[in-house]
Amino acid sequence: MILLGVNIDHCATLRQARYRQMPVTVGGPIEPDPVTLAVLSERAGADGITVHLREDRRHIQDRDVVRLRETISTRLNLEMACTPAMIEYALKLKPDSVCLVPENRQEVTTEGGLDIVRNRDRVKACIDTMKAVGIKTSLFIDPDANQIELSAKLGAPWVELHTGAYANAYHTSARAKQLERLRVGATLAHELDLVVNAGHGISYVNISEVRTIPHLHELNIGHSILSRALFTGIEEAVREMKTRMNA
């Protein structure tokens, strides 16, 4: 069975759109609460909760992450930039896993995989530091051989293959090529003993193809589940995605 990590960042995006200036993140008129969303997601079958604590704190806030750590009963996956400040933060928080992602202030959302080749030394240092305290490191990478091979060489236990290029190509003639790129990447990662996760741009439509990528352990899905939840509620949205993932 493929597991589902629900990325709840966009619940915080909605809250920050109205209550950015408030000194607190919850209570009184402040809504919606990402922690409530996380608990309801778990109740509907989410296998883990993912948040990206960005340097600019545009959606998820520090207080959200602490409350999640105290509240959820599945796994907390912290997406973060590979910086000394975030490594220190993760060591204090003790999430179940960290996922290293690239961060660029201008981007609307994470736009490409982390370039492990260019960031080799600091990625290796982060993997080793996390390993020493029992936190798994996942590397969010493009599904290319050089990135996958180096991830294994650096001792990462997990990779998260970036499905964004495939999702963007879904309605174009490039779709089959992007799907094949993911299939080949997942096969290589598995051969190198990496646990294969995937994420970005996965939807209720493309999931029927995404789930055919071999060796998938977990999918991290945010935007489409949150969008569906506006109409159906989060529990139904999570249940429906889990059903389609494992049809």
Q: Which is nearer to ligand PXP, 19 or 204 (CB)?
A: 204
Tokens 């999931």 map to which residue?
207
Maximal C-alpha separation, the chain: 52
Question: Cα separation of 17 and 19, whole Å?
Answer: 6
Catalytic residue, from 10, 52, 59, 162: name it: 52
Least Å distance between CB 12 and ligand PXP? 12
* Closest CB 100 distance from ligand PXP, rounded Å: 9
Among 33, 42, 160, 218, binds ligand PXP (CB under 6 A): 160
240 is catalytic: no
Distances (CA, A) of 127 to 29, 93, 109: 41, 16, 24
Looking at the DSSP assignment, which residues form a beta bridge with residue 141? 161
Four-residue CA torsion sign, 13, 17, 19, 23: positive
207 scored as a contact of ligand PXP (CB under 6 A): no
Residue span 30-69 as binding mask against ligand PXP, x where in contact by CB under 6 A, dash where not: ----------------------x-----------------
Cα–Cα distance, 37 to 59 (Å, whole number): 14
Instruction: Look up residue 220 and give its DSSP letter.
Output: E
- 151 part of the interface to ligand PXP, by CB under 6 A: no
- The DSSP secondary-structure symbol of 30 reads B
Q: Of 79, 103, 160, 218, which one is the catalytic site residue?
A: 79
The answer to whether residue 209 is catalytic is no
**Is residue 221 at the binding interface for ligand PXP, with CB under 6 A as the rule?**
yes
8 Å CB contact between 160 and 138: yes
Taking residues 87 to 126 in sequence order and writing x for each that binds ligand PXP by CB under 6 A, - otherwise, the string is: ------------x-x-------xx----------------
Q: What positions carry a catalytic annotation?
A: 52, 79, 200
